[in-house]
Amino acid sequence: MIKYTEDHEWLKVEGDIATVGITVHAQDALGDVVYVDLPEVGKTLAQKDVAGVVESVKAAADVYMPVAGEVTEVNEALRADPALANTDPTGAGWFFKVKLSDASQLDALLDETAYNTFAANN
């Protein structure tokens, strides 16, 4: 299951683990990504907490926690090659994985159709 936030993050949920990254729309808006700051593994964050930062040649933007949980893994390949956020934002350019602490929070997130409509208008 893939869900989206109005802050332009995507989550791919498998069991109680969600892989999180930025959307194609977000990376288009940012331009060439030059740096990412990823959360610390083992850190527990609340929904909407700032989990990291993505910096591009145009701007810097916070990456928010789409759901509450514990960070279980970060994408070290992305840290080494931030351009992965541009070339494969929904694949190899993922940011971190989180163990969900409240799966019911997923219900308030957008599906792909709703996100695409939102992104087209914002």
Q: What is the pTM of this model?
A: 0.96
Tell me if 110 is assigned to some domain.
Answer: no
How far apart CA 80 and CA 70 sit, in angstroms, is 23
Residues 36-59 have a mean pLDDT of 97
How far apart CA 117 and CA 115 sit, in angstroms, is 5
Residue of higher predicted confidence among 11 and 122: 11
Tell me if 114 is assigned to some domain.
Answer: no
- Position 122 confidence tier, pLDDT thresholds 50, 70, 90: confident
Specify the CATH number for the domain of residue 22: 2.40.50.100
Residues 118-122 have a mean pLDDT of 92
Q: Domain range for residue 33?
A: 2-102
Tell me if 69 is assigned to some domain.
Answer: yes
Tell me if 14 is assigned to some domain.
Answer: yes
Total domains in the chain come to 1
Tell me if 60 is assigned to some domain.
Answer: yes
